[in-house]
Chain A
Amino acid sequence: MNKAVSEPAADMSAHQEMTGAEIVVQALKDNGVENIFGYPGGAVLPIYDELFQQEEVRHILVRHEQGAGHAAEGYARATGKAGVMLVTSGPGATNAVTPLQDALMDSIPLVCISGQVPTALIGSDAFQECDTVGITRPCTKHNWLVKDVNQLASIIHEAFHVATTGRPGPVVVDIPKDIQFAKGTYTPPQTAPRTSYHPQEQGDINQIKAAIELMAHAKKPVIYSGGGVVNAGPEASHLLRELVELTGFPITSTLMGLGAYPASGDNWLGMLGMHGTYEANMAMHDCDVMLCIGARFDDRITGRLDAFSPNSRKIHIDIDPSSINKNVRVDVPIIGDAGRILEDLVRLWRATTKADRSALKPWWTQIDIWRARDSLAYRPNDDVIMPQYAIQRLYELTRDRDVYVTTEVGQHQMWAAQHFGFEAPNRWMTSGGLGTMGYGLPAALGVQIAHPDALVVDIAGDASVQMTIQEMSAAVQHNAPIKIFILNNQYMGMVRQWQQLLHGNRLSHSYTEAMPDFVKLAEAYGCHGIMCDKPAALDDAIREMIEVNKPVIFDCRVAALANCFPMIPSGKAHNEMLLPDEASDDVVANAIDEKGRQLV
């Protein structure tokens, strides 16, 4: 991770007497924080009072603490810096739990500062008290309850260090109100953090050589990259591209890793996994050497584990030793930072390996046959907007712009991953591991705060977007012209798709009656509202959305019953995909048998 630490104003702040609240703000400045997302309340008022009296740290007021967390996550993913959220005690802290777990599962550096009731009242069931460190212990990388104002500065510095180094993740610093008032000594960011925390960044050179050896003799190799490459910084993505160029290997990526290798690249197979492309999943299944970089063999990626890539030797690069052999046994594990190890791989490959591209020719021929299957195809329609078409048009009409895309969770998210081409890392923010509906809108706000002049689009679903729609008000307040592009099919589409697959097409509570009028809703918030339900009018409507210099809610009415394919149905292997042209109603209804239904 990039760690942006500004030079502490040594003489001004070093070892100076301050109140706890002053220490918090000074520590934020010294850790390079420019923007924080938060919501005030009784137990953080002293910190808010300090924020009021300075201008270096900008505070973005959200409408719900969950929004603050996702906005900070979006900010973090778009900048490579830690995202910071500030919440009060009790409900403020409990509302932060969802983004904390989200950041934990997607390895996002997120620093949450929470207020707590005064030390003397802890444990007395005081007003707005909750056991914040207890509640957030399993959903953070680490957390702290500050009991001594003299330790406050070093704890905040350590919190930033832990959040941004190694496998990045969320941290919580819980600060009782009396500590915020108390006077103590400020210490600048320390150079020697605690001895028990020392993530391994450099890979073992012998293991890297073993990897090169396997790769050099591969006949059917595939690179499977993930969010770890994005987290390792822009240089890692650059090195990944160089490695692909040097080796001529095909490359696929997880949902979290999109953009590290450009979608326009020759060797790109598309995303893999449950809704990945046919060529990506078939290549994973049939390969003889798999190079996994910064991904974790998640169950949405592997499909049926006992049939996962049965004939390959597997190389796994990960900074977290617990990811190794967790779900899939690998042959060459390499623990360390993806960027550092990619650097070694590129260097050693150049030094030792004679490029013999012809050996890979039969493999590429096979891949081309799979590609020709055109697994993302869908039936176009002149009367109704197909959701895939909407994404494609959005992509085409924004290609020449500085564009960032966030999503909610569901069918629209998978269609966005399949049909929007990402050319650079840090341009795609989505909730992968936790699958948090309501992530995309506040995440877009966070991205827009980081990049005020960029085009930031939340590709949303009509159900997800209503979970955090209140943050439109925050977007208006902070002049963040985010574009909420809703693929409105009036269903929880992915829920319905699974009900069709698993539950005899009984669509239990997955249809949203009484859908709001999104155009009027936009106007009520002081945004711009657009509704479009005709394919022929779509391009103009998208252009209007881009041109309007304020937040937009775009109600894109799409085919209500479209489903997301290709798909690896429940409990199938990579080579048992359900392709769109095979997915008749009958096949969908029978794709999973009685036994499988009970298991889900």
Chain B
Amino acid sequence: MNAQLQPTGSAYFITKETEAAETHTLAILVDNEPGVLARVIGLFSGRGYNIDSLTVSETEHERHLSRITIVTRGTGHVLEQIKHQLERIVPVHRVVDLSVVADERGHDRPMERELALVKVRGEGDNRVEALRLADAFRAQVIDANTEHFIFEITGRVSKIEQFIAIMKPLGLVEVCRTGVAAMNRGPDGM
């Protein structure tokens, strides 16, 4: 009651976040119509959520449905909010937190794969070494001449990160990555 007794915060009371942030992968099924991606990413920027990776393409042509895969980071509370906020968007059909489902099914995490195109330019030993390592990583050569290779590599994010790091001293020129595509193990759909 006595206003002077207590230490004070603010009318906008900001509680310290004590929960640890986790990384989760969301699958979002949406009507493929103009502006739908802007609605989804606008929600993330507008409400201050993170996007680590984003992948989108139409997956069911007859029903014009697209599947958006977003890797995001947040506390459990924030992740729950993200899911509910996404579900409010009118053209959003379903939102599944694949990481939660994986956990419920006793798996470590969902199946996640990414594809990268990696251009490496070099001569002599570096060139031989790049090709040898690409083989070890099961990367395909999809374009080459005497000065360069373009490798196509698919795999987990960590594998791709590692491959890019190794190629750096061997003449890495440019990288293009698709972002994560993900689904859960087992016979059931999302």
Contact = CB atoms under 8 A, between A and B. Distances in A.
A69 B42 CA distance: 24
B87 interface: yes
Interface in A569-600: 569-573, 575-579, 582, 587, 590-593, 595-596, 599-600
B20 interface: no
Interface string A276-315: 0000000000000000000000011011111000000000
B17 to A, nearest CB: 12
Which one of B6, B10, B92 has the highest number of Cβ atoms from chain A below 10 Å of its Cβ?
B10
B4 to A, nearest CB: 6
A185 B15 CA distance: 55
B42 A322 contact: no
Interface string B3-14: 111111111111
Contact of A596 (B5, B9, B42, B93): B9
Contact of B93 (A137, A195, A325, A591): A195
Nearest to A141: B90
Contacts of B46: 138
A322 B80 CA distance: 8
B31 A194 contact: yes
Contact of B85 (A133, A304, A322): A322
A320 B1 contact: no
Which one of A195, A197, A300, A579 has the highest number of Cβ atoms from chain B below 10 Å of its Cβ?
A197
Contacts of B30: 196
Nearest to A158: B90
Contact of A274 (B7, B11, B35, B92): B11
Contacts of A134: 38
B92 A196 contact: yes
Nearest to A197: B90
Contacts of B10: 570-571, 596, 599-600
Contacts of B12: 299, 599-600
A321 B11 contact: no
Interface residues of A, number: 47
Contact of B4 (A324, A591, A595): A591
A595 B1 CA distance: 20
Given A306-B15, A577-B1, A326 B90 contact: no
B87 A322 contact: yes
B81 interface: yes
Contacts of A325: 77, 80-81
B49 to A, nearest CB: 13
Nearest to B10: A599
A147 B89 CA distance: 21
A451 interface: no
A145 interface: yes
B39 interface: yes
A437 interface: no
B39 A571 contact: no
A590 B7 CA distance: 11
A393 interface: no
Interface string B118-138: 000000000000000000000
Contact of A572 (B6, B85, B87, B92): B6
Contacts of B2: 576, 582
A138 B35 CA distance: 12
Interface in A116-135: 133-134
Contacts of B15: 305-306
Contacts of B31: 194, 196
Contact of A575 (B1, B9, B34, B87): B1
A183 interface: no
Given A134-B38, A194-B31, A570-B9, A590 B14 contact: no
15 contacts: A138-B42, A142-B91, A196-B31, A300-B11, A321-B84, A325-B81, A571-B10, A572-B3, A572-B8, A578-B3, A587-B3, A590-B3, A590-B4, A592-B8, A599-B9
Interface of A: 133-134, 137-138, 141-142, 145, 147, 162, 194-197, 274, 299-300, 302-306, 320-322, 324-326, 569-573, 575-579, 582, 587, 590-593, 595-596, 599-600
Given A596-B8, A600-B12, 13 more contacts: A134-B38, A142-B90, A145-B34, A194-B31, A196-B30, A196-B92, A274-B11, A299-B12, A303-B13, A304-B9, A570-B10, A576-B5, A593-B8
